[in-house]
């Protein structure tokens, strides 16, 4: 059976790029936090008869990481994040493990997704596009903007495990975009890695691990940036993550002034 010319061309181009990068001493890797392939992950979870979230958490060698997603979601719930939450936007929805809980607890009527991994986008579309109670919109992700979403239209903008590996300016671009699309009084939720939680022992723990992705943000600069953009910190907490902890922020965009 002959291969389609376009498919053949793409495969040939991939081989050329791969060989060239090898010759130059580089290695191509998927962007993100230890990129997880969709197909084998989905198949493994189905074989075990569990959710993708449970499958991934069961693989963790550190028992403290099991149940982590639900602990984070509980913190958001306790802070009132899911109240009057009609429209949601998620940056880097990936496996959909946070999406499914937000869908359950907030019951929004619209959910927008920005995700760079095409295999997970296909999975999310197959899983959620037929939802009669919630309209799903899948946008093309460019790595730093939310340009396909109108300003002031979202009650909640959230990201999980995304800003821990992005360059600082890309993270600030994304948070700036989250502010733009969030309605006055709406919530913005994300995690990051602050330097105030990094000491010599923490650095040593990361060096002894298999992970090399972390981007550490200066805490003082970050808090000043949030204050300069009129973001109120509703709550902040830490949760075990990779070789140390991640810092979670629940922020509120400044409400409109009363008439």
**In this predicted structure, what is the pLDDT of residue 17?**
54
Q: Are 195 and 226 in contact (CB under 8 A)?
A: no
Angstrom distance (rounded) from CA 50 to CA 235:
32
Question: Do residues 232 and 252 touch, judged by C-beta distance below 8 A?
Answer: yes
Structure tokens at 212: 């090399």
Those residues whose C-beta lies under 8 Å from the C-beta of residue 124, and which sit 6 or more positions away, are 93, 96, 99, 113, 115, 136, 138
Q: Collapsing DSSP states into helix, strand and coil, what is residue 13?
A: helix
Q: What are phi and psi of 31, to 5 degrees?
A: -70, 150
Q: What is the reported pLDDT for 32?
A: 46
Dihedral over Cα of 167, 249, 247, 91: its sign? negative
pLDDT tens digits, residue range 170-185?
Answer: 999 999 999 999 999 9
Give CA–CA dist 171/46, Å, rounded.
34
Which residue stretches of the chain have pLDDT < 70? 1-34, 257-259
Supply the pLDDT for residue 26. 54
Residues 6+ apart with CB under 8 A from 59: none
Report the alpha-carbon distance of residue 11 to residue 5 in Å, rounded.
10
The CATH superfamily of 38-253 is: Vaccinia Virus protein VP39 (3.40.50.150)
Q: Give the pLDDT score at 256.
A: 80
Q: Measured between alpha carbons, how far is 65 from 229 in angstroms, rounded to an integer?
A: 33
Kindly calculate the radius of gyration of the chain based on its CA atoms and give it in whole angstroms. 20
Strands of the sheet containing 87-91, edge to edge, are 135-140, 110-115, 87-91, 154-159, 182-192, 244-253, 231-241
Which tokens go with 136? 């799903």
Neighbours of 95 (CB within 10 A): 24
């Amino acid at each position: 059976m002959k291969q389609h010319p376009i498919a053949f061309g793409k495969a040939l181009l991939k081989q050329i790029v791969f060989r060239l990068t090898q010759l130059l001493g580089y290695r191509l890797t998927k962007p993100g936090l230890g990129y997880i392939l969709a197909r084998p992950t989905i198949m493994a979870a189905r074989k075990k008869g569990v959710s993708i979230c449970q499958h991934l958490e069961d693989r963790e060698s550190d028992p403290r990481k099991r149940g982590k997603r639900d602990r984070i979601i509980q913190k958001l719930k306790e802070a009132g994040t899911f109240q009057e939450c009609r429209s949601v936007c998620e940056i880097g929805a990936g496996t959909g493990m946070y999406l499914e809980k937000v869908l359950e607890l907030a019951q929004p009527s619209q959910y927008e997704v920005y995700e760079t991994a095409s295999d997970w986008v296909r999975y999310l579309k197959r899983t959620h596009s037929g939802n009669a109670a919630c309209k799903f919109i899948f946008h093309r992700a460019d790595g730093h903007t939310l340009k396909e979403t109108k300003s002031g239209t979202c009650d909640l903008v959230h990201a999980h495990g995304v800003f821990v590996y992005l360059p600082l300016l890309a993270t600030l671009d994304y948070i700036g975009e989250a502010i733009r699309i969030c309605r006055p009084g709406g919530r913005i939720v994300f995690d990051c890695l602050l330097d105030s939680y990094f000491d010599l022992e923490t650095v040593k723990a990361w060096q002894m691990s298999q992970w090399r992705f972390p981007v550490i943000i200066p805490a003082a600069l970050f808090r000043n940036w949030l204050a300069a953009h009129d973001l109120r910190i509703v709550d902040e907490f830490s949760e075990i993550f990779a070789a140390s902890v991640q810092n979670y922020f629940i922020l509120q965009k400044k409400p409109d002034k009363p008439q």
